[in-house]
Amino acid sequence: MGRVAQLVEQGTENPRVGGSTPSPATTLVWVALVLAGCTSDTCYQLCATTAQAIEPCLTDWGASWDDFDAGSRVAWGDTCRAEWDEERLSLELRQVSVANDACTAASDDLGKMSCDELRALYFNP
C-alpha cells in the first residue's frame, strides 16, 4: 500500500525544486479535486491494478487479504487510494505530473511481474 507513496517520493525528489510543502492555493485545488472524486490519475488506477495482480498469487503464497490488513481486494485498493490521496495533497502540481509518469511506468512493469516478484514487493509476513 505504501508502494505508491514510495514510488511518488522517489520520482518527485529533485534537488532543484523548492520545498515539498504546497502553497495554500495548491492545497485547496487538490482538496477540491479529491472531494469532487477526481480519480483519473494513473497512481490512483495503479492501486486497483496492483490489487488485481496480487489476488491470483494469494493461493500460491498461502495467504489471504487479511494478511495485508484488508478483508478483500477492494478494501486493499481503497486503502491504497486513500494513501495516494493523502500523498498527492502534499505534492506541488508539477510533482503530480512526475508521479503520474512514475505510476504509468510502474503499471507497465506490474504486468510483467511474476508472483515471486510481487511477493518480494508486497508480501512480507
Of 1-5, 36-40, 117-121, least confident by mean pLDDT is 36-40
Instruction: Please report, for the chain, the start and end positions of each structural domain, with discontinuous segments joined by +.
Output: 24-122
CA 66 from centroid of its chain's CA atoms: 19
Q: What is the mean pLDDT of residues 53-82?
A: 93
pLDDT in tens, 14-27: 434 444 444 444 44
Model pTM? 0.66
Q: What is the mean pLDDT of residues 49-53?
A: 93
Pairwise CA distance, residues 106 & 104, whole Å: 5
Give the three cell numbers for residue 10.
522517489
Q: What is the mean pLDDT of residues 105-112?
A: 89
Residue 93 pLDDT: 86
Residue 18 pLDDT: 44
For 13-114, where are the alpha helices, taking DSSP H only? 24-35, 42-54, 58-61, 73-89, 93-110
Pairwise CA distance, residues 83 & 88, whole Å: 9
